[in-house]
Structure 1
Amino acid sequence: MRSLYFLLPGTDAKFACGGLFAELKTMNIAQQICDAEVVTYRQREDGKLFLDDILKQPDVDLTQIIFVMSWGFDVAKLAAKLKAYNTVYHAHSAGYGFKLPNSVPIITVSRNTMGYWGQLSPHSLIYYLPNEISNQFVNLNSQNFTGGCISSQDFAAYRDIDVLVHTRKSSQYLMEELIPTLQQKCNVFVIDSFIDDLTALFNRAKVYLYDSAEYWTLQGVTEGFGLQPMEALACGCQVFSSVNHGLSDYLDPGFNCYKIAGYAKEYDIQRILKVVSSFESVGLSEDVLANHRIPNITKRLAVILNELNEFFDYKQQHQGDIQDLDTVHLLKLNIHMIVGKVKQKYFK
């Protein structure tokens, strides 16, 4: 099996974000299956390979390496630079505006992103590999009870935060209108810096608010996965969230969450306070959570990597021959469709 080189611009605090952490987690899982390591390409880092150095080494068999691209803003440039080699795009967000040749397989972290690439790149190999949710994200409160039915009052007694919200990615409506009003009516905890132990906070909170649609609209790309609402649900919080992009993979308003920013601020407040006053932990089903735990992801990644190795074996010996949906081909298809309609109408 080929080695995997996970391409990252860097790994220090300058690049810290959900995408970086998710990519490092994927690499750690991949290391259980094959050789895998980080390769940086913007800055050199002690103990890590640097992309330009690898490409210049004459004794490295690059046919036995798969370069894994993931940093959306850099993928187009990297794909052009590495077009002669085995490359894969590990797609988190979507909407960066680039296209990829059919020779680059795509692994997506959400079905929403998979649908995006399924339409944009219909002749590429495309796979779904969900992001990992760590085992630490569990409902610790339920472990304080053994047997019998757990009442909502018992759960509420262990949760001293009524409403929890993180400023990062939150909408202006959420932070400047909804939260100030809620702070007058219940205990609101606002996270405005890095928190080392989100599990503890999620297990103290009754309600978690997340509203990222505005943020991603301004960024011009999509919410790739939206890990925190899933983490909150796993810890027993009730979640009020937007359902944009990757969030729609697992959030189901009315069944495992509530849709935030629903028509009017007072209506949001009414619904949130109702949940706070009669708190009952719902969360995600164990089947949904199991899909995002390491055992399932490892099994799926092993299947995907086997297929990728077979594909790159084939690609070494054969050229692709399926017509791409480029501008010229689409123009021909449109002309063909119009001619067909004219014939059907006038030459029956």
Structure 2
Amino acid sequence: MRKLYFLVPGLGGKYACGGLWAELKTLKLAQQICSAEVVTYKQREPDTLFLADLLNQPLDQAILVISWGFDVGQLAQQLIDYNVIYHAHSSGYGFTLPARVPIITVSRNTLGYWGQRSPHSLLYYLPNQISDNFQNLNLDRNIDVLVQARKSSTYLLQELIPALQQVCNVMVVDSYVEDLSKLFNRAKVYLYDSAEYWAQQKVSEGFGLQPMEAMACGCQVFSSINGGLSDYLDPGFNCYKIAGHSLTFDVQRIQQVLQSEQAVGLPESVLAEYRTENILHRLQVILTEVNAFFDAQPHQQAGIVPLTPMRITQLRLQTIWRKLLKKVS
């Protein structure tokens, strides 16, 4: 297989976020299948390749993996003469990609977005990995309600949490946690409400790792159901929808869950889709197909006519014209 180069802007500082950690996890998984290496293109890092230097080397037998949504449009243009894969986390950035760039999405929600936006591209689904350390350890749960401040809505931070603090033990985390699995194992209920945050960013929730990690650890989850969260969250069956009409109703439902012994969560049979074994299997299949696609590229004829805005307008006008002709006849 061709060597993979995973392109990220930097490895820390202002680039440190869930998307970066997820991409580096995918890199480590890919290294179990083929040769793979990280490359930065904005921030030079010690002992790490830099894109400008890499492009001076022969790359016929390599694939460049781009993923940083805000940079993908520009990178795709810069790398138009190379074998490129887009590893899509969020959606809604507004750029388009040529059909010769295969797209691997982390959620079915994002898969559907690109299925509509780029109908002639190769599309694949590769969910994010849930590490095996996220499991129910059956510890004493001495935290009633756990919340991470980052990405939380104004309603959650300024209304719901103060109301809950009057009736139960609430822990708000606003800094980096080394071992989040232990914290999830100490909590009874986890709250996650990211719809407002992503609306401000004007892009989607790509996957939403924390609610799934919390559920894997046995937490009862109250969450928004936006973007990639809709892949696996099923209100009433494995979670509860947060911000349910009113503050009073939310507090009432959370108190009922805290007092109830009934567990609602994800069984291991569902989590298996996101565990290492399945991710490696899917990645092996995807990389095999993508390599075959790039092998065939030099011998391909002109591609299918792209579905551009102009093409869509043309097709609409043709439909209107056919309807008019039918009425006249």
Counterpart-to-counterpart distance in 1, 2:154 and 2:67 = 29
SS state at 1:240 partner: strand
TM-score normalised to the size of structure 1?
Answer: 0.93
Q: Which amino acid aligns with 2:173?
A: I
For the Cα contact (< 8 Å) 1:206–1:279, is it kept in 2? no
Code of the residue aligned with 2:30 in structure 1: it is A
2:98 maps to a residue whose letter is P
Coordinate RMSD, CA, aligned: 1.0
Q: Hey, what does 1:38 align to over in structure 2?
A: 38
Residue 23 of structure 1: aligned partner: 23
Distance 1:273 1:56 in 2: 61
Secondary structure (helix, strand or coil) at the match of 2:198 reads helix
Where do residues 110-129 of structure 1 align in structure 2 (5 Å cutoff)? 110-129=107-126
Distance 2:5 2:148 in 1: 33
CA distance in 2, matches of 1:190, 1:183: 10
CA contact (8 A) 2:2 2:34 kept: yes
286-295 or 112-121, which moves further after superposition? Answer: 286-295
2:105 corresponds to which residue? Answer: 108
Aligned equivalents of 2:73, 2:322: Cα separation in 1: 37
Cα distance in 2 for partners of 1:323, 1:110 equals 27
Q: Does 1:215 align with 2:215?
A: no
Q: Establish whether residue 195 from structure 1 lines up as the match of residue 177 from structure 2.
A: yes
Closer, same or farther in 2 for the Cα pair 1:279/1:190, shift >3 Å? farther
- The answer to whether residue 85 in structure 2 is matched with residue 88 in structure 1 is yes
Amino acid at match of 1:169: K
AA aligned to 2:2 is R
CA contact (8 A) 1:63 1:85 kept: yes
Runs of 4+ deviating beyond 3 Å: none
Residue identity matched to 2:316: N
Cα offset, 1:344, TM superposition: 2.2
Q: Which amino acid counterpart does residue 136 of structure 2 have in structure 1?
A: N
1:138 aligns with 2:109: no
One-letter amino acid of the counterpart of residue 85, structure 2 = V
Cα deviation per residue 1:144-181 (whole Å; 9 max; x = unaligned)? Answer: 7xxxxxxxxxxxxx211111101000000000000001
Could you tell me how far apart the structure 2 residues matched to 1:176 and 1:99 are? Answer: 38
Give how far 1:86 is off: 0.2
Residues 4-41 of structure 1: CA deviation (Å, up to 9, x unaligned): 00000010233110000000000000001100000111
SS of match in other structure, 1:75: helix
1:82-107 deviations in Å (ceiling 9; x for gaps): 00010000000000110001110000
Structure 2 match to 1:153: none
Structure 1 unmatched ranges of 5 or more: 145-157
Deviation string for 1:254-292 (max 9, x for gaps)?
A: 000000000111000000000011143332022221110
Aligned-residue sequence identity (percent) comes to 64
Describe the superposition over 1:28-80 as per-residue Cα deviations: whole angstroms up to 9, x where unpaired.
Answer: 000011000001111211111111111123xx2x1100000000000011000
Partners of 1:235 and 1:14 in 2: CA distance: 29
Q: Does 1:275 align with 2:253?
A: no
Question: Mapping of 1:1-348 within 5 angstroms?
Answer: 1-57=1-57, 60=58, 62-141=59-138, 158-347=140-329
Question: Structure 2: 5+ residue runs without aligned partners?
Answer: none
Separation in structure 1 between the aligned mates of residue 305 and residue 19 of structure 2, nearest angstrom: 33
Write the letter of the residue equivalent to 1:240: F
> Would you say the 8 A contact 2:237–2:265 is kept in 1?
no
